[in-house]
Amino acid sequence: MNKWQRNVKLGFQAALTAALVAIARAQSPAGGTVENVFLARDSKDVLVFRNGDYLYGGLLGIDPQSGLRWQHPDAAQPIEFSVANLAEIQLAPRAETQPPGWTNNCTVRLVDQDELEGSLTACDAEKLTLETWYAGRLTIPRKRVEAILVIPSNIKTVFDGPTGVDGWTIGKVVGAGAETGQWKYKNGAFYATRAASIARDLKLPPVATLQFDLAWKGSLYIALALYTDYLQPVNLSTKESEPDFGAFYSLQLNNFYANLLPISKLTPLRYLGQISVSAFNQKNSAHVEVKLNKEKRQTALFIDGVLLKEWVDPENFTPTGTGLRLVNQGLGAVKLSHLQITEWDGLFDEKLARPPGSKDDLVRLRNADKLTGAFEGIHEGKMTFVNAGKTMVVPLDRIKEVDLAPVADAGARATNQVRAVFNRRGSVTFALQKWDAHQVVALSPDFGQAELNPAAFSRLEFGTDIEPVKPKPVTTQ
């Protein structure tokens, strides 16, 4: 193909793309049923361009040299795009192939703030070895590791779903100012496009972590009743006349802020303080994590892994139940997925405070003790650490976090970078060499070349410096 022919082809593809984007905009409803707001989108991938346009379809593959291949139902042949104009790709759910019974014992935070979950098998002065279900064994230079966050082996998962509406109580929202409907279920997620309530006694532990993925279209206004004993929705403006219900906390999330209220039937409404949430008005999806300590009356809200607010109720207020109620106020469409409830050890995953200029490694134990000194490594489930000239051997289960002193020559982040966001937690940044339905071939200063499972990811974010990956020169013939 000569230059003129290629220009004609690119011009035709540009015109076709513009037409398809226009069709997508015209067909994208502001309201409507669950199926045409979310379910159709969740069965397709979404291209998001830097100018704000988007296009539904299916990702066939990416080759940095030839570009991205995209299948659209209205196009007879796959369309080729340059990745230079792409902001991200939102990936429809793929069937994960995580082996049954697989457990991760740690999260490794890298110097570029990527996070990788896996099973830590060894760490010494030179490297860290992580076994993963999505990429096999990864060997990471220790200088690229910022911290190791240990996942306790005795933490119990109370709920992981949803898997359907069976066992849940469907309630009717009254007085929401919007047409009422019901939460619906499909493909691992709850959906609501109208005012709707769904609740279940999930046996929330007294100290717990609740997390889920939230997506919305239009206005976001959702409320979570925490530790409720009543499975029907409660109208807070007329709560004194509602049927009897026990005390609970109401966590309210909308496009602008989050707020927490202790709710009981016969006492006035009391607000514990609201916090602005910029993520809720700048995009249409977020990972929400709530940490709860019933005895200490403590509630902490994390959005996309960042602690936004910690509320501590100053009054002697005790919720009476162990249930969860989800209420959409009906001002927009909402999707809630990857709902997980686990026990919590009461300790936050937070960066340890390091004195300016300190070259020491830091360790926080699960009993809240802190160690300062030299981290030597982890082998066979035990850490070796030198503290005040004394060598200590500590079982991994007693450790909350290891924070390694920064290294001056930690190395540069990958060029031609793509940031792949995992379905549950964390991300990984690499130079993309190939992406297809079966594998992702990645090149990273963190672990070298690796083949990753594309089903592990929910989103691809493109940097501004993506260029073709240049092959390495042949040194052996």
Does 73 map to a domain? Answer: yes
166 located within any domain: yes
**Residue 465 forms part of a structural domain:** no
Q: Are residues 198 and 282 in the same domain?
A: yes
Contact call for residues 178 and 329 (beta carbons, < 8 A):
yes
From 55, 90, 125, the end of a domain falls on: 90
Domain shared by 31 and 162, yes or no? no
Express each pLDDT in 297-311 by its tens digit. Answer: 999 999 987 889 999
> Are 71 and 181 within one domain?
no
Residues 181 and 296 grouped into a single domain: yes
In which region does residue 377 sit, left (phi positive, over 0), alpha (psi from -120 to 50) or beta (all else)? left
| Residues 164 and 306 occupy one common structural domain | yes
Same domain, residue pair 235 and 317:
yes
Does residue 400 fall inside a structural domain? no
CATH number at residue 46: 2.30.30
Nearest-angstrom CA–CA distance, 363 and 352: 8
Look at residue 473 in the predicted model and tell me its pLDDT. 34
What's residue 178's pLDDT?
62
CATH number at residue 229: 2.60.120.560
Instruction: Say if residue 288 is in the same domain as residue 205.
Output: yes
Residue 421 located in a structural domain: no
DSSP 381: T
Q: What span, in angstroms and rounded, lies between the C-alpha atoms of 67 and 225?
A: 47
How far from the centroid of its chain's Cα atoms is residue 432's Cα? 21
Considering 54, 73, 90, which residue would you say is the last residue of a domain? 90
Give the pLDDT of residue 8.
Answer: 43
Q: Which uninterrupted H or E stretch holds 22?
A: helix 3-27
Residues 193 and 290 in one domain: yes
User: Backbone phi, then psi, for 398, in 5-degree steps?
Assistant: -90, -5
CA–CA distance from 227 to each of 10, 251, 462 (Å)? 57, 11, 41
pLDDT at 353: 65
Res 290: pLDDT: 96
Residues 67 and 167 in one domain: no
Weakly modelled stretches of the chain, pLDDT under 50: 2-14, 16-37, 464-477
- Does 101 reside within a domain? no
Backbone angles phi, psi at 402, to 5 degrees: -115, 120
Are 53 and 180 part of one and the same domain?
Answer: no
Q: How many domains does the chain have?
A: 2
Cα–Cα distances in angstroms (integers) from residue 239 to residues 178, 230, 249, 255, 401, in the given order: 19, 13, 14, 25, 44
Task: Note whether 163 and 302 are same-domain residues.
Answer: yes
| Environment class of 321 (CB within 10 Å of its CB; exposed 0-12, middle 13-18, buried 19+) | buried
> Rounded to whole angstroms, how far apart are CA atoms 313 and 297?
5
Of 343, 372, 391, the last residue of a domain is 343
Torsion of CA 366, 372, 373, 375, to 10 degrees: 30
In single-letter form, the type of residue at position 298 comes to: Q
Q: Are residues 79 and 179 in the same domain?
A: no
Q: How far is CA 275 from CA 92, 217, 252, 311, 477, in A?
A: 31, 22, 11, 10, 62
- Gap between the Cα atoms of 373 and 391, Å rounded: 10
CA atoms within 13 A on the CB side of 108: 27
Q: Closest by alpha carbon to 195, among 141, 240, 233, 158?
A: 233
Per the domain annotation, does 395 fall within a domain? no
Question: Can you tell me the distance from the alpha carbon of 45 to that of 80, in angstroms, rounded to the nearest whole number?
Answer: 15
Give the helix/strand (H/E) hosting 17: helix 3-27
3-state secondary structure of 183: coil
What is residue 351's predicted lDDT score, i.e. its pLDDT?
62
pTM above 0.75, yes or no: no
Residue 208 located in a structural domain: yes
Question: Residue 189 belongs to what domain range?
Answer: 157-343
